[in-house]
């Protein structure tokens, strides 16, 4: 085999990233406009949908909350009339 196949690449081990633990009412969502991941807080009694602006790009989201308790899910889409 040629010299290309004889090379060994040494890589540093990947260090784990310690993320802060999120509350059950905190959700990590991705902005449908700018693609940034943003953590949002949704009060425990909130159901249905509401409009909230992205804290990075300031564009409006439609936030839909479904389920209850620990089984709640949050879905974020554009709220600019294109949905």
pLDDT at 9: 47
Distances from the Cα of 2 to the Cα of 8, 9, 11, 14, angstroms: 13, 16, 22, 30
SS3 of 25-83: the string is: CEEEEECCCCCCEEEEECCCCCCEEEEEECCCCCCEEEEEEECCHHHCEEEEEECCCCC
Label residue 62 by pLDDT band (50, 70, 90). very high
pLDDT per residue over 25-51, tens digit each? 999 999 999 999 999 999 999 999 999
Q: What is the DSSP letter of 3?
A: H
């Amino acid at each position: 085999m040629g010299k290309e196949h004889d090379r060994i690449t040494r890589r540093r081990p990947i260090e784990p990233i310690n993320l802060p633990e999120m509350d059950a009412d905190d959700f990590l969502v991705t902005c449908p406009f700018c693609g940034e991941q943003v953590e949002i807080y949704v009060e425990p009694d909130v159901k249905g949908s509401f409009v909230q602006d992205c804290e990075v790009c300031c564009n409006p989201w439609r936030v839909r909350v479904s389920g209850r308790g620990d089984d709640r899910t949050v879905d974020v889409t554009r709220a600019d009339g294109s949905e």
